[in-house]
């Protein structure tokens, strides 16, 4: 099958499996994987994950500017962390989108054997026009002799946990509610690449991150905690098009506090704590510099408050070097 990632020995294995997009890998998705691990122990089986690349919405509605919670690589990393032995990233294209639910089950899932059990979330749908409900899937599994477990949806603060809700919360800058739904702080990863050096020229050098996907963030300035080679640093970041400099290409730039190392071509993981302000066009460089100074002071002065709020979602060791003023 296309896009197969083998994460361990799979010789002579039977399987328990799940299928879905899993954007965000939130608590609801993690609950599905908890059930998978229980089934794997019961059947002495390996765990298989079926997902899609690209995300189906990019094929079905290409006109929509769809931004995802995590990159595909981050999602695969989470699958592995939660016990997947093999991952199938199914190529989602027009031909696949036109498959009926029965065709998809017969041609994509049944050939993967010996398959003992499927575990899916209660909102799972599949097939052309999402015609395959979990009830229909149950009929197919019963006919094929497969066990099916449907995992109920979870709630946080009286809201159903879903990828779409999390994307909305990220857009609004409600990072604490996002953390509650993810069970961890949200972050982006990227390699540091050469930029136009504008930050350095005005006295605030930044690490320009190359991101593999556009995050669902509003343009603006953010307080962040940046992980680099096992250590953490406070930072003020800007995501946007830098209207003061008439740059129309979105960039994600991070100014790390008290940091003077060469990190070009190295990966940073950026945890976003708080939205500082919306992006705006400044009439002068002095006004821009003053706003950046205010951002940095805000990050320094408020970090202890944010540390307390987010402490359940980030290990204490991740704050190791972050409190330097």
User: How confident is residue 64, by pLDDT bands cut at 50, 70 and 90?
Assistant: confident
The CATH number given to whatever domain includes residue 235 is 2.40.30.30
Q: Are both 140 and 202 inside the same structural domain?
A: no
Of 150, 270, 274, the C-alpha closest to 208 is 270
Helix (H, G, I), strand (E, B) or coil at 187: strand
Q: Are both 226 and 135 inside the same structural domain?
A: no
Give the residue-averaged pLDDT of 93-109.
95
CA pair distance 64, 243, nearest whole angstrom? 24
The pTM (predicted TM-score) of the whole model is 0.92
Assigned domain for 164 exists = no
**Rg of the chain over all Cα atoms, to the nearest angstrom:** 22
Asked whether the beta carbons of 270 and 288 are under 8 A apart, the reply is no
User: How confident is residue 111, by pLDDT bands cut at 50, 70 and 90?
Assistant: confident
Indicate if the pLDDT at residue 173 is higher than 50: yes
Burial of 298 (0-12, 13-18, 19+ CB in 10 A): middle
Percentage above 90 pLDDT, the chain: 79
The length of the chain, given as a count of residues: 325
Assigned domain for 280 exists = yes
Asked whether the beta carbons of 138 and 124 are under 8 A apart, the reply is no
Q: Where does residue 160 fall: left (phi above 0), alpha (psi -120 to 50 degrees), or beta otherwise?
A: beta
Q: Are both 101 and 237 inside the same structural domain?
A: no
Confidence (pLDDT) at 316: 41
pLDDT tens string 177-225: 999 999 999 999 999 998 877 888 888 999 999 998 999 999 999 999 9
For 29, 48, 101, 154, the CA distances from 17, given in Å and listed in that order, are 13, 5, 17, 20
Indicate if the pLDDT at residue 318 is higher than 80: no
Assigned domain for 168 exists = no
Indicate if the pLDDT at residue 239 is higher than 50: yes
Q: Are both 236 and 96 inside the same structural domain?
A: no
Q: Are both 59 and 101 inside the same structural domain?
A: yes
Assigned domain for 196 exists = yes
Range of lowest pLDDT (19-33, 157-171, 191-205): 191-205
Q: Are both 200 and 110 inside the same structural domain?
A: no
pLDDT tens string 121-145: 999 999 998 999 999 999 999 999 9
pLDDT tens string 281-314: 999 999 999 999 999 999 999 999 999 999 999 7
Q: Estimate to the nearest angstrom the gap between the alpha carbon of 106 and the chain centroid.
A: 30
Q: Are both 56 and 149 inside the same structural domain?
A: yes
Which of 318 and 3 is assigned the larger pLDDT?
A: 3
Assigned domain for 166 exists = no
User: How confident is residue 95, by pLDDT bands cut at 50, 70 and 90?
Assistant: very high
Q: Tokens standing for 225?
A: 């905690």
3-9 contact pairs (CB < 8 A, 24+)? 3/53, 3/87, 3/88, 3/89, 3/90, 3/91, 4/86, 4/87, 4/88, 4/89, 5/76, 5/86, 5/87, 5/88, 5/89, 6/85, 6/86, 7/80, 7/84, 7/85, 7/86, 7/87, 8/46, 8/85
Give the residue-averaged pLDDT of 78-86.
95
Indicate if the pLDDT at residue 317 is higher than 50: no
The CATH number given to whatever domain includes residue 77 is 3.40.50.620
Q: Are both 196 and 76 inside the same structural domain?
A: no
Assigned domain for 143 exists = yes
Give the residue-averaged pLDDT of 81-90.
94
Confidence (pLDDT) at 8: 58
Assigned domain for 171 exists = no
User: How confident is residue 321, by pLDDT bands cut at 50, 70 and 90?
Assistant: very low
Burial of 17 (0-12, 13-18, 19+ CB in 10 A): buried
Q: Are both 14 and 149 inside the same structural domain?
A: yes
Confidence (pLDDT) at 107: 93
Confidence (pLDDT) at 320: 40
Q: Are both 126 and 204 inside the same structural domain?
A: no
Percentage above 70 pLDDT, the chain: 93
Asked whether the beta carbons of 88 and 46 are under 8 A apart, the reply is no
Sheet holding 4-6, edge to edge: 4-6, 86-91, 46-53, 15-19, 115-121, 147-151
Assigned domain for 210 exists = yes
CA pair distance 230, 46, nearest whole angstrom? 31
Range of the domain at 269: 185-315
Q: Are both 54 and 140 inside the same structural domain?
A: yes
Q: Are both 136 and 94 inside the same structural domain?
A: yes
Confidence (pLDDT) at 325: 38
Number of domains into which the chain is organized = 2
User: How confident is residue 6, by pLDDT bands cut at 50, 70 and 90?
Assistant: low
């Amino acid at each position: 099958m296309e896009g197969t990632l083998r994460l361990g020995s799979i010789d002579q294995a039977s399987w328990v499996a799940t299928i879905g997009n899993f954007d965000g890998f939130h608590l609801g998705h993690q609950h599905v994987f908890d059930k998978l691990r229980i089934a794997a122990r019961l059947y002495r089986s390996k765990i298989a994950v079926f997902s899609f690349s690209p995300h189906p919405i990019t094929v079905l509605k290409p006109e929509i500017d769809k931004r995802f919670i995590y990159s595909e690589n981050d999602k695969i990393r989470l699958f592995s962390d939660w016990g997947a032995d093999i991952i199938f990233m199914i190529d989602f294209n027009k031909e696949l989108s036109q498959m009926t639910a029965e065709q998809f089950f017969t041609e994509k899932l049944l050939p993967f054997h010996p398959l003992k059990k499927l575990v899916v979330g209660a909102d799972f749908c599949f097939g052309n026009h999402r015609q395959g409900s979990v009830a229909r899937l149950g009929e197919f599994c019963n006919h094929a002799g497969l066990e099916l477990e449907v995992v109920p949806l979870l709630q946080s603060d009286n809201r159903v946990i879903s990828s779409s809700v999390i994307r909305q919360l990220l857009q609004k800058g409600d990072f604490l509610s996002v953390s509650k739904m993810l069970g961890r702080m949200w972050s982006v990863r990227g390699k540091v690449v050469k930029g136009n050096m504008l930050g350095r020229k005005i006295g605030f050098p930044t690490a320009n991150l190359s991101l593999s996907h556009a995050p669902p963030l509003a343009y603006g300035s953010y307080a962040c905690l940046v992980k680099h080679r096992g250590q953490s640093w406070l930072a003020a970041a800007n995501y946007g098009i830098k209207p003061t400099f008439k740059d129309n290409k979105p960039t994600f730039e991070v100014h790390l506090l008290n940091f003077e190392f060469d990190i070009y071509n190295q990966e940073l993981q950026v945890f976003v704590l708080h939205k500082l302000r919306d992006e705006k066009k400044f009439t002068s460089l002095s006004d821009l510099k003053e706003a950046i100074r205010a951002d940095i002071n805000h990050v320094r002065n408020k970090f202890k408050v944010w540390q307390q709020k987010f402490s359940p979602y980030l290990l204490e060791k991740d704050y190791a070097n972050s409190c330097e003023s």
